Amino acid sequence: MPVNVKLSVVVPFHNVQAYAAETLRSLLLNARSDYEFILVDDCSTDRTPDVIAHHRPRLPGCVVLRHPENRGLADARNTGLDAARGRYLTFLDGDDWLAPGHLDRLVAAIERYACEFVRTDHVQVTGRKRVLHRAPEPRRHQVLDPRSGILPADRTTMTDYPYAWAGIYDRALLERGVLRFDPGLRMTEDRPWIWRLHRQARSYAVVPLDGVRYRRGLPGSLTQTGDERRLDFFRAFDLLLDQLQQDARYEELLPKAVRTYCSIMAAQLHTLDRCAPAVARRTPARAREALDRLPRAALRETLRTLPPDRAAALRALYGVRGVLNRGLASARREAVA
């Protein structure tokens, strides 16, 4: 193991025995003497640990860590970050894989632009279908202010592209606490993370690399789950809003955060048929509570400008007049105060 590690790659695994071998083979095709691969087994109950053990001797710079109980993706990534020694850091999920040479191109990009992080495109894989997904920022190959990637509220921006593995990050971000994930989040852990990254980092660039192969639609994957983990998105966005209050530009950024929260909330309400019965029953009540906590003016504007189907899903929790009248009453109380 080299003393000076150029790049640390953090890879959480949980019950991905059918895909882990391809993931690990792709790491081997990207290996270099000054790279390390931190494999975090988040207490898999299938043969994933056996697959890791089989490939470990052939993967240079490999470190294997194991959680004694399943703690979720945020904690697994944090465990990897705690062990990372690299000048730069990146992520991969245990059921995805990399094109050969992708990591070298990532390192070359961040060193070329000398910025705190670089974001990339990726290829989404659904069965045999492969689709290129581009990072929303159209300005490529130039150093940018990360805050410029947050707004406007009514357009898709870089905070709507939260994938941690679609990029590479300077160690300075880890040392300032920017790269760590909020503990305990088992889903939507990347939403407060991407907002913190764009609010607190000092510079970034976007490059048209597409070496990550991201699997979608896998049975048992987090994107398909309908169990209680699905409710974590409420806590994730509540954390985001709490953290945003500390920002000097809170009032300017708030409409974007509220709009994103409401949009995802509506999407969850539209897919209750995929949930376990208990989760399907709890989600509308949690959504009503979340809407009650949102600032009234930002909520009214969001309901006015969201796509009609998503706005209708939220209004239906109270009825149209219920949400709007609550907002108007709140505004009147604030004016009197």
For residue 191, how many other CB atoms are within 10 A of its CB? 23
Q: Which two tokens stand for residue 33?
A: 């003497």
Please enumerate in sequence order all residues whose Cβ is within 8 A of that of 39, keeping only pairs 6 or more positions apart, or say none. Answer: 11, 13, 24, 52, 56, 62, 63, 64, 65
What is the rounded CA–CA span in Å between residue 193 and residue 77?
Answer: 12
CATH-assigned architecture of domain 7-223: Alpha-Beta Complex (3.90)
pLDDT digits (tens, 9 = 90+) for 48-72: 999 999 999 999 999 999 999 999 9
Identify the three-state secondary structure at position 129. strand
What is the rounded CA–CA span in Å between residue 147 and residue 201?
Answer: 8
Residue 336 has what pLDDT?
Answer: 41
Q: What are the residue boundaries of the structural domains of the chain, listed by start?
A: 7-223, 225-336
What is the rounded CA–CA span in Å between residue 223 and residue 47?
Answer: 21
Percentage of the chain with pLDDT > 90?
89
Say what the pTM is. Answer: 0.91
Q: Which two tokens stand for residue 35?
A: 């790279």
Question: Does pLDDT of 220 surpass 80?
Answer: no
Burial class (CB in 10 A: 0-12, 13-18, 19+), 164: buried
pLDDT band of 333, cuts 50, 70, 90: very low
Residue 318 has what pLDDT?
Answer: 76
What is the rounded CA–CA span in Å between residue 24 and residue 285?
Answer: 42
